[in-house]
Amino acid sequence: MHESRPAPALWVVVPMYDEAEVLPEFQARLLHVLDALDLPARVLYVDDGSRDASWALAQDFARLDPRVHGLKLSRNFGKETALTAGLDAVARVENVAACVVIDADLQDPPEVIPELIARWREGADMVYATRRRRLGESGIKRLTAAVFYRLMRRLSATAVPQDTGDFRLLSARALRALAGLRERQRFMKGLFAWIGYPQAQVLYDRAPRAAGATKWNYGRLWRFAVEGVTSFSTVPLRLATWVGMLTSVLAFAYGAWIVLKVFVWGISVPGYASLIVAILFLGGLQLLALGIIGEYVGRTYLEVKQRPLYLIEASVGAAAPPSDAMP
């Protein structure tokens, strides 16, 4: 008799940072959805250095339900890295059917998961959930998000689907492909898009946060946007070159005009104002170009250091690697 292999399982990766307030409700709703699925399911909570009871809760969940696993990072690494840690752990597991990524704050409704699975069964390797409306988010946040997606589309060859967060399903081969992208600057939306493979979209309404507060502020969003642009586009570098060239041409034309004036009408009033304007303008442009180059050089520096992306402090359940594992 041949040995019966367990059926491939669906893995759900949940990055969490100080989510103790919503976690019990999230876990209940998620398990309710998973119970109704026709394939086995596993949950992997990735604790991104929470300061509250999130990790203790995840450990409790794991004790109560053998399907639940947990990974605790050594400190807060940011959502993108926490997600990577979770996906890496799942990529090491045998017999993965597909993997779903979902936020713990219930803004991504777990009830959408069966739809993601349906699209995946129709042959899509990546099924992303796109929000139809953003409830409970300020007009300014919506506006900045819209501007950002448009900018990204213009600047980068890798098209990032608009209004799509990290909530999505990845097939086993998409998961493997993603695990092979080891860059330190992890703009996940871009990395997801870079993979390619057949993609499908599911629309849903994004609910407001169930409890707790968002960890995003404008400083963080700005860094996120710069990350997105610089990891997937070198257009800003080219922009610096073009602006530099344009100003040089203008400066040359202006210089020629002044020389001509001297020859035709003789020396006139010394142009203090125009001199100052030119100096300030060119100085500003040079600083801008230097700043842009600096962003890229800095990223190259971070990349060549080849540090591990994250460190794992503790784990519960079978899926998690030993705690001193180096990713």
Question: Is residue 201 involved in binding ligand UDP (CB under 6 A)?
Answer: no
Question: Is residue 17 involved in binding ligand UDP (CB under 6 A)?
Answer: yes
Do the bridges between strand 41-47 and strand 9-16 make them parallel or antiparallel, or are there none, so unpaired?
Answer: parallel
- Shortest separation between residue 294's beta carbon and Mg ion, angstroms: 31
Show contacts with Mg ion in window 105-124 (CB under 5 A).
Answer: 105, 107
Among 107, 171, 231, 315, binds ligand UDP (CB under 6 A): 107
Q: Which stretch binds ligand UDP (CB under 6 A): 104-112, 150-158, 277-285, 302-310?
A: 104-112
- From CA 195, how far away is CA 161, in angstroms rounded? 13
- Shortest separation between residue 157's beta carbon and ligand UDP, angstroms: 25
Question: Is residue 215 involved in binding ligand UDP (CB under 6 A)?
Answer: yes
Among 9, 13, 16, 87, binds ligand UDP (CB under 6 A): 16
Q: How many CB atoms lie within 10 A of CB 163?
A: 17
Q: Is 117 exposed, middle or buried (0-12, 13-18, 19+ CB in 10 A)?
A: buried
Give the distance, in angstroms, between the CA of residue 93 and the centroid of all CA atoms in the same chain.
23
Question: Is residue 104 involved in binding ligand UDP (CB under 6 A)?
Answer: yes
Specify the residue, 14 or 116, whose C-beta has the smaller distance to ligand UDP: 14
- From CA 288, how far away is CA 230, in angstroms rounded? 15
- From CA 44, how far away is CA 68, in angstroms rounded? 6
Binding mask 19-58 for ligand UDP (x = CB under 6 A): x----------------------------x----------
Give the distance, in angstroms, between the CA of residue 313 and the centroid of all CA atoms in the same chain.
23
Question: Is residue 82 involved in binding ligand UDP (CB under 6 A)?
Answer: yes
Residue 306 in 3-state DSSP?
coil
Q: Which residues bind Mg ion (CB under 5 A)?
A: 105, 107
